[in-house]
Amino acid sequence: MEILILVLFIVILILLASCVKIVPQAYAYVVERLGAYQGTWSVGLHFKVPIVDKVAKRINLKEQVVDFAPQPVITKDNVTMRIDTVVFYQITDPKMFAYGVENPIMAIENLTATTLRNIIGDLELDQTLTSRETINTKMRASLDEATDPWGIKVNRVELKNIIPPAEIQNAMERQMKAERERRESVTRAEGEKKASVTVAEGKKEAAILEAEAEKQSAILRAEAQKEKMIREAEGEAEAILKVQQATADGIRMLREAGADESVLRLKSLEAFEKAADGKATKIIIPSEIQGIAGLAASLKEMVSNQ
């Protein structure tokens, strides 16, 4: 009898322990009573009625990621390619998620494939390859609207890989290679053009500098020649002044010694001769001493007769 009571006590403890549930963070438990939805347990400690209540589904409320296999799609210009997608989703309503659809992940995968085919079917190959962001936005909007009755919120959709046919890939590679070669040719031509322009500008500047240097040199030579001529003229003038001064001093001394007018005129003529210094080709003699020539001739005849 005591053993039976002990066994019964242990069974009761086990039943009571099974009725105590602790819901961890970021989880929710859907509870049913006699097969009908009873409620949703959030984080914390909860108790259920033995045998009558049961936890029908444990739901993860974290954002989850599912990577779907590549799906064959056909573009508007009849090119078949394979595209795989990544969907980021989060459960917002545990009850609707538990009772809305039988297999939510499979439903999202099929919905993603059909939505992707509809969007890509309206785009050509080039648009498909260059419109990832547009395709992602359209798919997220469509999936979020379709999964809302299931208690699922689609936060983000990404096209992971776009795989065109092998012949298309080869053609694209050849096109890219030709484009790179064209850009290289253009870059090389622009570089040669800039180099030619730089060389021409350098020659132009060199010619301008050379002409400017020749101009400055000519100006300096002219100034030097001018200064030389001025110095020579000043020297000749100073020499003439000195000769005239000496002649004047000599005439004054002769006059003081009592020399007559003829001697004075001869001395003046000698002064002009010294002033010319044998270099002048033309000498202007004052009118008052022009008669000296006749006087000199008379003196010469007198000397020869003696």
CA distance linking residue 114 with residue 99, whole number of Å: 23
SS3 state at 73: strand
C-alpha torsion sign, points 97, 103, 105, 107: negative
The pTM of the full predicted model, rounded to 2 decimals, is 0.54
Q: Which two tokens stand for residue 231?
A: 């110095």
pLDDT at position 267 is 56
Read off the DSSP letter of residue 231: H
Cβ 18 vs Cβ 52: under 8 Å = no
Q: Which of 78, 76, 77, 70 is nearest to 162 (CA)?
A: 70
pLDDT at position 296 is 44
CA distance linking residue 70 with residue 270, whole number of Å: 128
Phi-psi region at 254: left, alpha or beta (left = phi > 0; alpha = psi -120 to 50): alpha
Per-residue tens of pLDDT for the chain, all 306 residues? 677 777 777 777 777 777 888 889 989 999 998 888 899 988 888 888 888 888 888 999 999 999 988 888 888 888 888 898 999 999 999 999 998 888 888 999 999 999 999 999 888 888 888 888 889 999 999 999 999 999 999 999 999 888 888 887 787 778 888 888 888 888 888 888 888 888 888 888 888 888 888 888 888 888 888 888 888 888 777 877 777 777 777 667 766 765 555 555 555 555 555 555 555 455 555 554 445 444 444 444 443 444
Cβ 160 vs Cβ 85: under 8 Å = yes
SS3 state at 72: strand
C-alpha torsion sign, points 145, 150, 156, 157: negative
Query: How many helices (H) does the chain have, and how many strands (E)?
Result: 8, 9
Contacts of 148 (CB under 8 A, 6+ apart): none
What is the Cβ-side half-sphere exposure of residue 55, based on CA atoms within 13 angstroms?
17
C-alpha torsion sign, points 31, 108, 100, 156: positive
Name the one residue in this structure whose structure tokens are 């403890």.
Answer: 13
pLDDT at position 230 is 85
- Alpha helices of 86-165 — where are they, by DSSP H? 94-100, 104-120, 125-130, 132-147
Q: How far is CA 222 from CA 82, 216, 219, 230, 256, in A?
A: 88, 10, 5, 12, 50
pLDDT at position 28 is 93
CA distance linking residue 114 with residue 110, whole number of Å: 6
3-state helix, strand, coil in the chain (%, to 5): 60, 20, 20
Q: How far is CA 79 from CA 76, 82, 93, 183, in A?
A: 7, 10, 40, 29
